[in-house]
Amino acid sequence: MSKIKPSQGAAYARIMGVGGYRPTRVVPNEVILETIDSSDEWIRSRSGIATRHWASEEETVAAMSIEASGKAIADAGITPEQIGAVIVSTVSHFKQTPAIATEIAHKIGAGKPAAFDISAGCAGFGYGLTLAKGLIVEGSAEYVLVIGVERLSDLTDLHDRATAFLFGDGAGAVVVGPSKAPAIGPTVWGSEGDKSETIKQTVAWDEFHADRPEKFPAITQEGQAVFRWAVFEMAKVAQQALDAAGITPEDLDVFIPHQANMRIIDSMVKTLKLPEHVTVARDVETTGNTSAASIPLAMERLLATGQAKSGDTALVIGFGAGLVYAATVVTLP
């Protein structure tokens, strides 16, 4: 018989607070057109993006995360000392070790929480949310800070006509805590490693040295292949998340997909047959694709503008490099 004491976790978990940070510099399509042969009309028609935010030298991955985290903690009505774990999803923190989560935890005054980074691309927020829920229900933490943060301008090839206009910078954070009722549904997640080459970094870090001729690593993708996969396969995953939560599209109040591309978002809405009353996040128009930060940033904006309200039922889904995906139904804080 095991001598290990059973864990004393919460029955359920919920999102308690949300915060976001967008860099101060707003970059219109006209700036992108300085380095690629295209047009504002073409960019808008292909992606729905009009502007994006690019970080300054001072707006580091840590600095943006700290700003977003402070807002989320205040929104949750707790103190930093109550945070038991910090999970950061990012692909643009360039130090292999230590994890940026440890620096963030220290600078927000969280004491000595568990702190680690994950790399799940544009599905990273969903992965982090699922891990946070598990930690709370299992009893390893009472409150978990989940951060999605990217400085994708550092990984953007401004001469690549297929991707130069897509990416932006920013940070989004949520506090996940205990709940007496279900407020984060089962996660439908997974990966399709046979498609890992469709979104990738051009040069691996161990191949990049100052005395070699390679350009600094950038993100590249096979746009049409990714579009088809996102539209057709991710709609199926979204439906599976609804089924797992035991609800139908008519029960939804809000749909918050990864802000990759307006055409992808609109196609998913059509495929899922979402009713007209469902509010759809379209933050990509002014924020661009911020990868792991896109869902919490879009969530924060919907709540701040009154397009969504506390207690609404929302379907969130992230998908991207790997190819990986994660979808779940949540109650908005």
Tens digit of each residue's pLDDT (9 = 90 or more) over 134-152: 999 999 999 999 999 999 9
Q: What is the pLDDT of residues 202-234, one digit of tens each?
A: 888 877 766 666 678 888 888 888 888 998 899
Q: Which residues contact 126 (CB under 8 A, 6 or more apart)?
A: 120, 187, 189, 295, 316, 317, 318, 325, 326, 327, 328
Distance CA 174, CA 330 (A): 12
3-state SS assignment for residue 241: helix
The pLDDT assigned to 203 comes to 81
| Chain length of the chain | 333
The pLDDT assigned to 290 comes to 97
Write the burial class of residue 132 (CB in 10 Å: 0-12 exposed, 13-18 middle, 19+ buried).
Answer: buried
Q: Which of 19, 23, 317 is nearest to 154 (CA)?
A: 23
Distance CA 82, CA 322 (A): 34
CA dihedral sign, ordered 204, 66, 320, 183:
positive
Question: How does the average pLDDT of the chain come out, rounded?
Answer: 95
The residues pairing with 177 across neighbouring beta strands, listed in sequence order, are 14
Q: What is the pLDDT of residues 68-94, one digit of tens each?
A: 999 999 999 999 999 999 999 999 999
Q: Which of 29, 53, 93, 122 is catalytic?
A: 122
Prediction pTM value: 0.94
Backbone angles phi, psi at 236, to 5 degrees: -65, -45
Q: Which of 29, 53, 258, 261 is catalytic?
A: 258
3-state SS assignment for residue 264: helix
One-letter amino acid at 90 equals: T
Is 289 catalytic? The answer is yes
Average the pLDDT over 266-292 and give the result: 97
Q: Is the pLDDT of residue 235 over 70?
A: yes
Q: Is the pLDDT of residue 7 over 80?
A: no
Alpha-helical (H) ranges within the chain are 29-32, 40-47, 61-76, 100-107, 124-138, 223-228, 234-245, 262-272, 284-287, 294-304
Backbone angles phi, psi at 30, to 5 degrees: -60, -35
Is 258 catalytic? The answer is yes
